[in-house]
Amino acid sequence: MTLQLYCTIIGRGFPANSITNMDTVVGRFKEHAPNDAIHRSRLGKKGCFLRKDGLPTPNVIIDLDRIPKTDDSQNADFLFASNDSGGWIVPIEMKKGAPDAKKSVQQLQAATRVAEAWISAVDAQNFRAVLVSGNLPKAERFSLRKCTVRFGDKDHSIERLKCGTSLRNALR
């Protein structure tokens, strides 16, 4: 058994190399995002929230409302990144009620472009676009199943979660 060096950050023990290495997904996100955009509290907006229990660590959640816009498209609400399992990138759009699937897909794609500007698709082996909403009528669910978000050179389906569930459910 090998001895690992651990450092303590906010009361948690993480392998030291996962925090200081800017070649990790989390390191690059922290390098590019303004400090006030790093989200530290409850993951929620507009009357909808996601639980953060059981998420892989280290991770970072970026509030995209605090990132300067590079074009006139509207971003999703958050970007989640983790170094777990080769790296995770998860754009998250939250809606209290029934979302417009087409608009939500555009917002998720805009957030994905932000992530691609910070890292390459090679650096993150896992990607999942997540739409969180209170209710989703049958017609919108059917429409959403046909929609994809492009990350790197692949199209990815969109995972739909209900408000109040855990983000961990999307990372499977």
CA distances from 99 to 8, 90, 152, 158 (A): 40, 18, 26, 13
Least confident of 22-36, 47-61, 100-114: 22-36
Q: Which residues of 54-92 are buried (b: 16+ CB within 10 A; e: fewer)?
A: ebeebbbbbbbeebeeeeeeebbbbbbbbbbeebbbbbb
Higher pLDDT, 108 or 12: 108
Q: State the total domains in the chain.
A: 1
Whether 11 maps to a domain, the answer reads no
Q: How confident is the model at residue 63 (pLDDT cuts 50, 70, 90)?
A: very high
Q: Which domain holds residue 28?
A: 23-170
Q: What is the pLDDT of residue 156?
A: 95
| Collapsed DSSP state (helix, strand, coil) of residue 92 | strand
Q: What is the pLDDT of residue 94?
A: 93
Whether 15 maps to a domain, the answer reads no
Beta bridge partners of residue 162, listed in sequence order: 133
Q: Which two tokens stand for residue 75?
A: 């971003």
Q: What is the pLDDT of residue 122?
A: 67
Whether 3 maps to a domain, the answer reads no
Chain-centroid distance, C-alpha 94: 11
Beta bridge partners of residue 80, listed in sequence order: 61, 90
Higher pLDDT, 91 or 101: 91
Q: What is the pLDDT of residue 10?
A: 29
Q: Does the pTM exceed 0.75?
A: yes
Higher pLDDT, 72 or 52: 52
Q: What is the pLDDT of residue 15?
A: 41
